[in-house]
Each structure stands twice: as C-alpha cells, then as structure tokens.
Amino acid sequence: MKHTQQSGAKVYNPFTLSLYDWWVLNISNKYAWKCPTDTRLLPFFLHHMGETHLDIGVGTGYYLKHAPATHAISLMDLNPDSLKIAASRVGNTKIRATLQHDVFDTFPADWHGRFDSVSMYYLLHCLPGEMTTKAKAIKNAGMALKPGGTLFGATILGKEVPHNAFGKKLMAVYNKKGIFSNTNDSADTLRSVLNEHFAKVTLEQHGAVALFSATMPRSL
C-alpha cells in the first residue's frame, strides 16, 4: 500500500465523521481503550498546546475547538473531508492555514520551524507499517517546530497492553480492514523512535493508549 493511499485516511467521509465524536471519543475511548477523552486526552492536549499550533490528523477538530481564542491553528491531513469539517468547527478566527498533505512526505519549506507545538492525536496507529516506518512521520513533524517547541500526541498501542474483549475485537477488525496498522506498536518501540529524533521525551500509558511529548529535536 502506498502511503498516499492509506485506508486509515480514506475511511473518513462526511458520514463517518458525523459519528466520530460519539463512537471514537465517547464509546471507544471510554470502554475499549480505557483512556477517557474528557479526563485524559483533552487535558493532555490543552496542556501541551502552544499559541501557534499545527494539528496533524485532524479528525473532527474536537480538541482544537477547546483552544483559547488567541491561538493560531494550522491543519494538516491527507483527507479533504476531515480538513473541511475540522476547519468549520474550529472557526475562521483561529484557523490560519490548512494543508492536504501526506505526513510521510517532507513538509513545505515555509512550514519548517513555524510552530510552538505540533500534535499527532490518534494518527500513528492509523499509519501503515511498523513503528520504525512511522518514524519518518515523526521526523517530519519535528521539523515544523520552532526552537523550544513541543511535539505531542496519543496513539493506541497493539502490543504489551491490557486490551479487554471490546478492544481486542476492534483491534482485529480495524487492522484487518487497514484502518489501523498497530498490531506491533508498543510503548517501547514508540519511545525508541521518539528518543532517536528528540533529546527530551515523556511517555505515559493510560489503558491501551500512549500519550507522549517530545522536545529538542536532534539534528534532522
């Protein structure tokens, strides 16, 4: 599968996105992944978000709508429907730019060194390949940071995590359909990739979800 033909991105259309908040952010996060949106994921997002922010893999824009009005937000996604819906939800007063782009491809030059923070929420587990392959996306995201900026995100792990019956079922279905590609993703492999590209890394695990932050990109 080519990176530009990711099933994980193609699954999102206006209909599936209309169900996203209910199914993913409410039902799945609470009952399958055991990492509630309101008490874990949203506070982590807002804590690490800077005044100039790039969100990669935008979903419906749920987290971004909670950003302070003074923040300047840019959006990047492979899926045009996600970009449109997220931009509409967040509003023109906060949105500075949108870019339909494959995270595996080098970012445009004027997006390098541009942001105080970059988020990758529920993106990595949708990207094809092993974590070592996904490292390219992490490297590219790091190049978008200003000096002192922070890359942060959340991803569902497939290995060495306590999946319940609901989570195991979703994992099997999503990986079979190509929506997820995270069977071998573990906290250790994620930490290793982050440490390869950043000098300072934090990682915490809640249920089946890893929440991470990284600063001080190494020479890229």
pLDDT digits (tens, 9 = 90+) for 165-191: 999 999 999 999 999 999 999 999 999
Checking if the pLDDT of 53 tops 50, the result is yes
**Whole-number Å distance between alpha carbons of 42 and 47:** 9
Q: Residues 141-168: pLDDT tens digits? A: 999 999 999 999 999 999 999 999 999 9
**DSSP readout, 149-199?**
EEEEEEEE--SSS---HHHHHHHHHHHHHTS---TT--HHHHHHHHHHHEE
Q: If 0-12 CB within 10 Å is exposed, 13-18 middle and 19+ buried, where does residue 69 land? A: exposed
**Whole-number Å distance between alpha carbons of 14 and 151:** 28
List, in order of start, the domains of the chain with CATH numbers: 3-101+112-217 (3.40.50.150)
What pLDDT is recorded for position 9?
66
* β partners of residue 41: none
Checking if the pLDDT of 101 tops 50, the result is yes
Phi, psi of 110 (to 5 degrees): -80, 0
What pLDDT is recorded for position 220?
55
Helix (H) or strand (E) holding 141: helix 131-143
Q: Residues 2-41: pLDDT tens digits? A: 434 455 566 888 899 999 999 999 999 999 999 999 999 9
What pLDDT is recorded for position 2?
46
Pick 213 or 1 by higher pLDDT: 213
In this structure, the dihedral spanned by the alpha carbons of residues 138, 57, 53 and 88, taken in order and rounded to 10 degrees, is 170
What pLDDT is recorded for position 5?
41
Average of per-residue pLDDT values in the chain: 95
What pLDDT is recorded for position 8?
59
What pLDDT is recorded for position 7?
57
Q: Which of 203, 58, 163, 178 is nearest to 118 (CA)?
A: 58
